């Protein structure tokens, strides 16, 4: 019940395209949903986050869509760029407790 399931495992997108990564959870006590971006040899870096009282949050080219009834949330990267090539992790947190991470998505944006 603590798991966060993430798909796809890998994603290849052309420059300028839209990258979409999906996550699903079971634990309704989760109340904070961040996305982290990780480059090789680096730690996860917070990209964008959302709370379940909001259905969508946009920051620049990055948008989180949140569906509370379906217990799903997704990351959309508009106008994807080669510099966006990285591993993306969704995560979920319960009231300031541990972060539970998804399995990660390796995104490759071809020039």
Binding positions for other proteins, rule: CB under 8 A: 31-32, 34, 36, 41-46, 49, 51, 89, 91, 93, 95-104
**Which stretches of 16-104 are assigned E, i.e. beta strand?**
19-25, 33-38, 45-50, 56-59, 62-67, 72-77, 86-93, 99-101
* Distance in Å, CB of 38 to other proteins, minimum: 8
Q: Which residues make beta-bridge pairs with 35? A: 48, 90
CB nearer to other proteins: give 74 or 102.
102
* Distance in Å, CB of 10 to other proteins, minimum: 12
């Amino acid at each position: 019940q603590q798991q966060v399931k993430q798909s796809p495992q890998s994603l290849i997108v052309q420059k300028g395209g839209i990258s979409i990564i999906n996550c699903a959870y079971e634990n309704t006590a989760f109340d904070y949903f961040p996305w982290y971006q990780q480059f090789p040899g680096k730690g996860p870096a917070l990209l964008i986050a959302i709370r379940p009282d909001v259905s969508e949050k946009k920051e620049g080219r990055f948008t989180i869509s949140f569906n509370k009834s379906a217990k799903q949330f997704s990351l959309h990267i508009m106008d994807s760029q080669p510099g966006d090539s990285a591993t993306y992790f969704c995560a979920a947190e319960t009231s300031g407790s541990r972060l539970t991470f998804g399995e990660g998505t390796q995104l490759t944006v071809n020039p």
